[in-house]
Amino acid sequence: MTYETHSEKETHELAARFAATLRGGELIELVGDLGSGKTTFVRGVAEALGCKVKVKSPTFTVMNEYPVDNDKIKKIVHADFYRFEDPAHLEALALGDYSDDDTVIFVEWPDIFGEGILTPTHTINFEFVDEITRKIEL
Ligand SMILES: Nc1ncnc2c1ncn2[C@@H]1O[C@H](COP(=O)(O)OP(=O)(O)O)[C@@H](O)[C@H]1O
Ligand SMILES: [Mg+2]
């Protein structure tokens, strides 16, 4: 399904609906240009799952971990491969270690070091339409 949102708030609302479908153990790829709303979407999911901290782009850290207060899901991992300087970071990251039943992983720019590095359970596509409009394909 492709949705159109017209504000950060609407993207958060869509993210909250998506969050309600999560059971833990998902690996979600976020695909789309810079500014297309990927991080905003993760922030909406985290809020909906009861995270008390505001999700920020993993700029200096390679990835961020957020504890969340939810029956099934205890942790969100948010990685942004665009910020990786070196594919060796991928190994350091050892995403496999996070594939626990109570964790949900989000990865922005999953294909930057080549396709097929990850085995996602979901891929979400983001498209910049205009200043306030984003197309989000779930
Ligand atoms: N409908 C919308 N949904 C999400 N973000 C929006 C929307 N309209 C405008 N924006 C703005 O677009 C930017 C999206 O940034 P961000 O989520 O960090 O993108 P990405 O992680 O894809 O680079 C933010 O500045 C946000 O305020
Ligand atoms: Mg981002």
pLDDT score at 97:
58
Alpha carbon of 38 to ligand 1 centroid (Å) = 7
**Pocket of ligand 1 contains residue 20 by CB under 6 Å:** no
For residue range 19-69, list pLDDT tens digits in order. Answer: 999 999 999 999 999 999 999 999 999 999 999 999 999 877 778 999 998
pLDDT confidence of 125, banded at 50, 70, 90?
A: very high
**Pocket of ligand 1 contains residue 15 by CB under 6 Å:** no
Alpha carbon of 25 to ligand 1 centroid (Å) = 26
Domain range summary for the chain, segments of one domain joined by +? 2-137
| CATH superfamily of domain region 2-137 | P-loop containing nucleotide triphosphate hydrolases (3.40.50.300)
Angle at CA of residue 29, ends 87 and 19, nearest 5°: 140
Q: pTM for this one?
A: 0.94
Q: Using CA positions, which residue lies closest to atom 6 of ligand 1?
A: 8
